[in-house]
Chain A
Amino acid sequence: MEIPKQYSPQKTENKWYSKWQENKYFSSKPDDRPPYTMVIPPPNVTGVLHMGHMLNNTIQDVLVRRARMQSYNTCWLPGTDHASIATEAKVVNLLKTKGISKSSLSREEFLKHAWEWKEKHGGIILEQLKKLGASCDWDRTKFTMDDDLSESVIKVFVDLYNKGLIYRGVRMVNWDPKALTALSDEEVIHKELKSKFYYLQYKIEGSDEYVTIATTRPETILGDTAICVHPDDERYAHLKGKKALVPLINRPIPFIFDDYVDIEFGTGALKVTPAHDINDYNLGIKHNLKSIDIFNDNGTLNENAEIFIGEDRFVVREKIVESLKDNNHLVKVEEIVNSVGFSERTDEVIEPKLSLQWFLKMEKISKPALEVVMNDTIKFHPPKFKNIYRHWMENVRDWCISRQLWWGQQIPAYYLPDGNFVVAETTEKALEIAREKYNQDLNIEDLKQDEDVLDTWFSSWLWPISVFDGIRNPDNKEFKYYYPTNDLVTAPEILFFWVARMIMAGLEFNGEIPFKNVYLHGIVRDKHGRKMSKSLGNSPDPIGLIEQFGADGVRVGMLLSSPAGNDLLFDESLCEQGRNFCNKIWNAFRLIKGWEINKNQEQSEEAQIAYKWFKANFNKTLETINNHFEKFRIADALMAVYKLIWDDFCSWYLEMIKPPYQQPID
């Protein structure tokens, strides 16, 4: 057979990938062999492959392929995540371009659009993974909103509610005024910003005296319900029982005394706005203050504000400063640096907002999840992430799990006409419980299901369990065989969002850890160390790279410089190096194939010793590679192979055994 001069990935890769699929080499059924199981971190269903996915899936594929070639019954389970906030935002935007607003649609109509979009675009990223060579068991592909997975989520919600771990309550939440939903603490990104610190004076009612407070958010004075000072602060002791007037609207508000205030900070007097600041909210509860919410959900001011009604919070900030100045309330302005929270998804400034939400109590379920990591029942690679994990788990707050969206699992709480509610897996069950519990004559139509959906992470935290149907049928054969999974490969960015919660879910619902090892790889950055982003234009298209360098070349390129836990500085030249390595291997192969073999010829002395040397070297390298793999040092394992082939095999061994020109080899 003629061997082509050049290795052509384009001609080879599709050919082999279809062969592999035809022959079901990657599919797995339980049998007598020990299993090796891995679940993919499900990419967003609407996503397209980016460099982070390339790194993540290359590493997974390497581990899976190695296990398969070590005779494990290997199952790498692929799938996608419904990503409620991201997907809903995309669908809303798409509808907008068609002139349809979400508010003009019913829930059912909107979901129909969303499913259509999902069916159309949902498979793209998985098809791209095939181009990379990912050896997933595609027959097992799952989606976090598949019926069985959604059912599992609902079952878990009901279970946790019945255990008293889920409650509904008015809490200060992180409100995203753009996405119009509450976010969990982990979805808020805090950035240090240069801000202005405004010193404002409030007149004391029935006196000519003023008291000065300082704030970075002057628009919120319209929601003030008290001024707080330290009980030991003599400057303000005489104000006990007096009231101050909120500037511009002249609302009288009381003075309260609490050692929460730092005498040294600012003027020592603090405006209290319970509806719009978490600390003020807590002060409000303690001192029984009124709470005046001045914002609409979209961040504009409502009637409670009395002035600037309907205008955006940031516009009002500018305007109110002018008014305060004109009315002699503005004392001075200072520049300060403060921390401001932004929405991870929409980059909108978060508004702390009081709202009625569903919460999961974290204290009880986070403790065992901390323990199994600290005592290495679950091993982190590299172990430095244990400390970060501990810090987070020891300071975890209750998890706000409701989202004011439609795309996702709708909360299985059903409200009665009198405002009571029941939680149940289906409407029918809810009706049964409601009739019994409240002794009322009720019909299905009387029950109204909660409008909100669950946080996406409230479904993906079940992923390793629910993909094997371990929530609904914990005794099923597949779940018993494949679970707990072996290794999880993911990015440290979602250590808490996902990894920690999967550990909690595993322990809470099955009393077992969901995986034995967690390999945390770094973030792919550009060669200057900047994060890759669309706006910087420094994020190469992975499929373009595969077309240019071949999937093998790109895979090598991704791994060449990616020690666990450290960021990868990506440069196209790494893929080029990968492609060159392919070519090197191909050329060596061609060279050998070009030799004529004479079976009767005796082996030369140099070939004998060369063989002895290379065999020893080969085994030594195998030892090194095995050692690296045991410690999850995948880049080092690759370097050992690279050196073995490039130096030892091509540069030395082939030279030693090469037959003289136009003569045969033994």
Chain B
Amino acid sequence: MPFISEEIYQNIRTEQMCESIMIANLPEQDAYSGEVIEKFEFAKQVIVSIRNFRQEKGISNKNTIELFVKKNNDEEADTTFDSVVIKLCNISKLSYVTEKVNNAFSVNVKATELFIPLNQSDDIDIEGEIAKLEKDLKYQEGFLASIEKKLSNERFMKNAPQNVIDKELKKKSDSLSVIEVIKKQLSSLKEQ
């Protein structure tokens, strides 16, 4: 896209820069940390989930919400992107909890539970929440079944490289912990 590139380049060009992008050098690739990219992938999912939640509940992004994060299965909390989550989701307060938060909507991202406390005016649609969780559960169970099927396939186990098998095993344990979280949430909802 040489034309728009030059147009913008000339708009931001300073004295020290090459006189035209036509003859400028391409950026050299630097070493980078894959970790920060991976960590943000999770933060992205959190942000997307909260945005979806807002949309579902009709809560405008202009109104702040509070957010409680409960890590499960002894997972360590990663706070690198908390400030970004706070900004992009317009969160008034983000805190980590070890127990379930009552009177709150909950959203799952992998095995992490996000709790968003209700305003007085909000009413939890317990039936709706149960239905949603059951749908999630069904999906997760189907997913798990497909992985188990793969793992019980002798030919696959014999021929697949170890790192591929490890990936499948990791998927299986992740899926199991997600299922556990959903089941707990379901039973607590049903008690109410």
Contacts and interface: CB of A to CB of B under 8 A. Distances in A.
B interface SS class: helix
A69 B24 contact: yes
Given A70-B26, A585-B8, A613-B40, A25 B20 contact: yes
A236 interface: no
B4 A12 contact: yes
Interface string B82-94: 0110111000000
A581 B1 CA distance: 10
Contacts, number: 107
Contacts of B81: 609, 613
A64 to B, nearest CB: 11
A51 interface: no
Interface string B25-44: 11101111110110010001
Contact of A135 (B2, B40, B84): B2
A133 interface: yes
Interface of B: 1-4, 6-8, 11, 19-20, 22-27, 29-34, 36-37, 40, 44, 80-81, 83-84, 86-88
Nearest to B2: A133
Most buried by A among B2, B24, B37: B2
A552 B37 contact: no
B92 to A, nearest CB: 15
A186 B91 CA distance: 70
Interface stretch (A288-296, A400-408, A619-627): A619-627
A353 B184 CA distance: 88
A643 to B, nearest CB: 13
B4 A612 contact: no
Contacts of A65: 2, 22
A619 B31 contact: yes
A13 interface: yes
B80 to A, nearest CB: 6
A43 interface: no
Interface of A: 1, 3, 7, 9, 12-13, 16-17, 19-20, 23, 25-26, 61, 65-66, 68-71, 133, 135, 550-552, 555-556, 581-582, 585-586, 589, 593, 604-606, 609-610, 612-613, 615-620, 622-623, 626, 652, 655-656
Contacts of A135: 2, 22
Nearest to B44: A652
A582 B29 contact: no
A66 B83 contact: no
B84 A610 contact: yes
A593 B32 contact: no
A586 B4 contact: yes
Contacts of A616: 32-34, 36-37
A26 B2 CA distance: 13
B29 A551 contact: no
A626 B88 CA distance: 32
Given A556-B1, A606-B84, 20 more contacts: A12-B6, A20-B22, A25-B20, A25-B23, A26-B22, A65-B2, A66-B26, A69-B24, A69-B26, A135-B22, A581-B1, A582-B4, A585-B4, A586-B4, A610-B84, A615-B30, A617-B37, A619-B32, A620-B32, A656-B84
A589 B27 CA distance: 19
A582 B6 CA distance: 12
Contacts of A133: 2-3
B3 A1 contact: no
A3 B11 CA distance: 9
A656 B4 contact: no
B4 A604 contact: no
A612 B36 contact: yes
9 interchain residue pairs of minimum CB distance: A619-B32, A606-B83, A552-B1, A616-B32, A622-B29, A605-B83, A25-B22, A69-B26, A606-B84
Contacts of B36: 609, 612-613, 616
19 contacts: A3-B11, A12-B4, A23-B20, A26-B22, A65-B2, A71-B25, A550-B4, A582-B4, A586-B4, A586-B8, A593-B11, A606-B83, A606-B86, A613-B36, A616-B32, A619-B29, A619-B31, A622-B29, A656-B84
